[in-house]
């Protein structure tokens, strides 16, 4: 495949903490995302985002990015029975104590399928990772080019995004999560001549 495709991964750190706990300037930073992306040349074709934990961040990104990125997945773990997912697997049990994964993909090209996976391997830690349904988001994207100087025929692009256990000492958990991710990807039996992108934090 000679086609150049640009994928951007970004942890936007929209944790939703009240300011009296920690002021991370979340709203100010969120507002800068669409206008900053607008300055990129070329703009990324696909965005893989982490820590889109709040509904405010999700709604804002959809409303401000939809002109450039009209296609997007849902946030993994937000709704374990959402019919818009082609499949939801792993440990996606609903709980009052658990939030979503914060994982979301935007694309300028049509997303043919979206799949979600929630990790089984988690551990209680000071980073509160155990309160998020961390896992993997997968978007099967049909790349279509209108520019005659670029790709003439559509092709399939497979983009996987993840956010592993964050605490510095949890290497064993991250390795288990990576193994889960590998098995999740292998299960799709993606043809070897189709591009696969892994992105995340």
The full length of the chain comes to 201
Tokens 């997912």 — which residue? 85
Taking alpha carbons only, the member of 95, 47, 99, 93 closest to residue 68 is: 47
Question: What's the mean pLDDT when you consider all of the chain?
Answer: 89
Q: What is the pLDDT of residues 12-53, one digit of tens each?
A: 999 876 654 666 788 899 999 999 999 998 999 999 999 999
pLDDT for the residue numbered 149:
58
pLDDT for the residue numbered 20:
47
- For residue 186, count CB atoms less than 10 angstroms from its CB and return exposed for 0-12, middle for 13-18, buried for 19 or more: exposed
Q: What is the pLDDT of residues 106-157, one digit of tens each?
A: 999 999 999 999 999 887 766 677 788 999 999 999 998 766 555 566 789 9
Q: Any bridge partners for residue 159, and if so which? A: 139, 197
pLDDT for the residue numbered 168:
74
Residue range 89-118: mean pLDDT, rounded: 89
Q: Which residues contact 104 (CB under 8 A, 6 or more apart)?
A: 49, 52, 58, 61, 72, 73, 74, 75, 76, 137, 161
Asked if 113 and 147 touch (Cβ cutoff 8 Å), the reply is no
Q: Dmax over Cα atoms in the chain, in whole Å? A: 54
* Percentage with pLDDT > 70 across the chain: 86
**Full set of structural domains in the chain with CATH:** 7-200 (3.60.10.10)
Asked if 104 and 58 touch (Cβ cutoff 8 Å), the reply is yes
Q: How far is CA 15 from CA 66, 131, 154, 162, in A?
A: 22, 12, 37, 16
Residue range 73-99: mean pLDDT, rounded: 87
Q: Which residues contact 148 (CB under 8 A, 6 or more apart)?
A: none
Q: Which pLDDT band, with edges at 50, 70 and 90, does 195 fall under?
A: very high
């Amino acid at each position: 495949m000679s086609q150049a495709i640009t994928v951007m991964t970004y942890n936007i750190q929209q944790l939703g903490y009240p300011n009296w706990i920690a002021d991370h300037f979340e709203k100010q930073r969120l507002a800068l995302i669409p206008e900053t992306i607008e300055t990129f040349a070329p703009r990324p074709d696909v965005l893989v985002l982490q820590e889109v934990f709040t509904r405010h961040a999700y709604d804002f990104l959809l409303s401000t990015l939809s002109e450039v990125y009209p296609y997007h997945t849902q946030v993994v773990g937000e709704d374990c029975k959402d019919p818009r997912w082609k499949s939801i697997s792993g440990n996606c049990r609903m709980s009052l104590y658990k939030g979503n994964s914060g994982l979301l993909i935007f694309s300028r090209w049509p997303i043919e399928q979206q799949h979600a996976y929630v990790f089984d391997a988690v551990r209680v830690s000071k980073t509160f990772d155990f309160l998020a349904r961390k896992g993997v988001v997968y978007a099967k994207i049909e790349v279509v080019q209108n520019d005659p100087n670029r790709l003439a025929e559509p092709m399939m692009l497979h983009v996987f995004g993840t956010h592993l256990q964050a605490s510095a000492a949890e290497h064993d958990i991250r390795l288990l999560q990576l193994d889960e991710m590998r098995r999740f990807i292998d299960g799709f039996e993606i043809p070897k001549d189709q591009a696969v992108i892994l992105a995340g934090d």
